[in-house]
Copies of this chain bind each other. A is one copy, B any other.
Amino acid sequence: MSLAGLLGLTDPAGGAALQTRLLPHRPEHAFAAGATTTNGDGFGVGWYGIGATPGVFRAVGPAWSDRNLRELAGHVASPLFLAHIRASTGTAVQQTNCHPFRHGRWLWVHNGMIRGFPQLKRELVLAVDPSLYAAIEGSADSEVMFFLALTFGLEDDPPAAVEQMVGFVEATARSHGITDPLQMTIGTSDGETVWAFRYSSEGRSRSLFYSTKLHTLRQLYPDNPVLHDLAEETRLVVSEPLGDLAGAWNEVPESSYGVVHHGHDELHPFRPRSMPAAVG
């Protein structure tokens, strides 16, 4: 997929309004997450290509006016990328708070927040594996969620690790009297597979959509040339539908996660795992 797809970020009020143009000949997956209001507090894109780890480009201004993003979008190709546009829920607008976050080959984007984060932050951060602690660079809740998931085994079993992370955050919030602390859609990848989670403590999660199989779309739209240029296994996961092709987008159900992988995709229920709260 060419990052040219990001070129369409011209509508600041449009959430993750990525007008993605897909390029042919490779299995391709992507995840893009944005909040529902103006997302002008920085952005980022990660992609797998040259090098042992994914590349990450992040900046603090709005994506819609960033010239370097347009340059990258037109001149970098990758079979898998994750993009994010940020609306700060309070923490500083700085590069180290922009998504995707990276650890080794893993990328992480999050749309949502931890309510009461200033009260919970110390206990949550203390639960991060001490060997990972120094790698936390920013101050955002999303990064702490990533490092908690890494602590709970993200690299071995992503769904289990995210379920433990959520369980732990909810238990810690409960011990502070904070109800419904978590609102999240999450995308994470190791470069081969994309896991996409939709969950919130209150059961009314931000939206998450995945694209219909290309084979089906081509039958629906036999004359659409774009669809015939795309690679067979192309799959997009987005926070809001892009474009207006009826039948192209399917909602990830409440409290679920999807797995996008070469040759097979899956959809499963997501259940937070019961965890003891942090000891403050």
Name the residue on B nearest A44 (C-beta). Answer: B68
Stoichiometry, copies per complex? 4
The answer to whether A94 has its CB under 8 Å from any CB of chain B is: yes
CB <8 Å contact, B130 and A50: no
Residues of B within 8 A of A243 (CB): none
CB contacts (< 8 Å) of A121 on chain B: these are 133-134
Which interface class (under 10, 10 to 19, 20 to 34, 35 or more) fits A? 35 or more
Inter-chain contacts of A133 with B (CB < 8 A): 121-122
Is A57 an interface residue when CB atoms closer than 8 A count as contact? yes
Query: Within 8 Å CB of A37, what residues of B?
Result: 12-13
Do A57 and B77 touch across chains, with their CB atoms under 8 A apart? no
Quick one: which of A58, A77, A126, A134 has the most chain B CB within 10 A? A134
Q: Which residues of B contact A118 (CB under 8 A)?
A: 134
- List B contacts of A61 (CB < 8 A): 60-62, 93
Do B50 and A72 touch (CB < 8 A)?
no
Central interface residue in A12, A37, A49, by most chain B CB within 10 Å: A12
A50 and B62 form a contact (CB under 8 A): no
* Contact (Cβ within 8 A) B65 A50: no
Q: Mark A48-67, 1 if CB is under 8 A from B, else 0.
A: 01110111111111101101
CA distance A136 to B137 in the complex (A): 12
Instruction: Contact check, A72 vs B57: say whether CB atoms are below 8 A apart.
Output: yes
A12-B12, A58-B67, A126-B126 provided; 13 other pairs, C-beta below 8 A?
Answer: A40-B65, A41-B62, A53-B74, A55-B72, A55-B75, A56-B71, A60-B61, A92-B95, A94-B94, A94-B96, A96-B139, A121-B133, A137-B139
Q: Could you name 6 residue pairs across A and B whose Cβ atoms are closer than 8 Å?
A: A12-B40, A13-B13, A57-B71, A57-B72, A65-B93, A72-B72
Residues of chain A having any CB pair with chain B under 8 Å? 2, 12-13, 37-38, 40-41, 47, 49-51, 53-62, 64-65, 67-68, 71-72, 74-77, 88, 91-96, 118-119, 121-122, 126, 130, 133-134, 136-139, 280
